[in-house]
Structure 1
Amino acid sequence: MDINASLIGQALVFIILIAFVMKFVWPPLIATLDERAKRISDGLSAAEKAKHDLVLAEKGAAEELRRAKQQATEIIGQAEKRASQLIEEAKEQARIEGDRLIAGARAELDQQVHQAKEDLRQRVSELAVVGAEKILRREVDSARHADLLTSLKAEL
């Protein structure tokens, strides 16, 4: 055999092989590669979308955190204001109660002073009557009267 016939035979077999590969092997291989390229592209776009969503989520979280801090500050301010109101109310109630107790104590003191004055008047009137009785029982003598009055003064 000649080199030409062998070369032509090998070329013919090679062409049949290329036709077979192009007809049966190449389309599934290209489809697999296209599918893989599509998955890679979808994965990259999903990654980009996820990155974008992450940025948006971080911004949303930062905004939510800012709002939560603001709300917490408002709540703390309201609590402090309410605490101040409660303290002022308690002070006012304590002042009113103190004034009431002072008024009661003054009334009781006035009553005791009045009672003491009445007791003193009663005692003075009794002493005056006793002194008058003593003066009237004895004879009228200015020296004795002066002594009696001095003793009465000492008793008062």
Structure 2
Amino acid sequence: MNITATLIGQTLAFAVFVWTCWKFIWPVLISAMRERQKTIADGLEAAEKAQRDLEHAEARVEEHLNGARTEARQIVEQARSQAAEMVEEAKTVAQAERERILEAAQADIEQEMNRAREALRGRVAELAIAGASRIVEGDLDRSRHDALLNKLAAEL
């Protein structure tokens, strides 16, 4: 065999191989590569979109947290002010109750003092009448006068 014929045969075989690859294999490879390229591009785009969505979601969460913190501060402040108002109201009610109890006690004391005075006046009047009747019954000398005064003082 001749080298030229072999070389021509190999060249023809290679040309048929290239043409067959170009006609049947190359479109499938290009199609698979384009499909893979599209899949990768779609994946990257989806990842970017997911990243943007995540950033937006984080921003919304932060806004909600700030709103919740503000609302919580307002609720706590409102509770504190209500507690202070309740304490002040309780103090006012307690002060009024104290005043009422003091006035009632003062009135009771005054009433008891008046009763004691009336009882004392009655007793003094009885003793004065008794002393006067003893004086009228007899003549008093100094010793009898002192004895009568001591007896009246003991009865008081």
User: The residue matched to 1:76 in structure 2 has which SS?
Assistant: helix
- What's the CA shift for 1:65? 1.7
Partner residue in 2 for 1:20: 20
Letter in 1 for 2:65: L
Report Cα offsets for 1:92-149 as digits up to 9, x if no partner: 111111111111111111111111111111110111111121112114x575785477
Alignment of 1:97-116 (within 5 A): 97-116=97-116
Report Cα offsets for 1:16-40 as digits up to 9, x if no partner: 1112212222222111111111111
Report percent identity of matched pairs.
42
Q: Distance in 1 between matches of 2:149 and 2:130?
A: 14
Is the aligned partner of 1:154 residue 2:138? no
Structure 2 gaps of 5+ residues are none
Letter in 2 for 1:24: F
Is the aligned partner of 1:60 residue 2:63? no
For CA contacts below 8 A with separation 6 or more, give which structure has more relative contact order.
Answer: 2
Partner residue in 1 for 2:4: 4
Letter in 2 for 1:107: A
Alignment of 1:33-48 (within 5 A): 33-48=33-48
Structure 1 gaps of 5+ residues are none
Q: Distance in 2 between matches of 1:144 and 1:112?
A: 39
Q: Distance in 1 between matches of 2:97 and 2:82?
A: 22
Runs of 4+ residues deviating >3 angstroms = 141-156
Partner residue in 1 for 2:89: 89
Partner residue in 2 for 1:124: 124
Q: Distance in 2 between matches of 1:19 and 1:59?
A: 58
Q: Distance in 2 between matches of 1:81 and 1:131?
A: 73
Q: Which moved more, 1:125-134 or 1:3-12?
A: 3-12
Partner residue in 2 for 1:80: 80
Say how many residue pairs are matched: 155
Q: Distance in 1 between matches of 2:110 and 2:32?
A: 112
Q: Could you state the TM-score of these two structures normalised by the residue count of structure 1?
A: 0.87
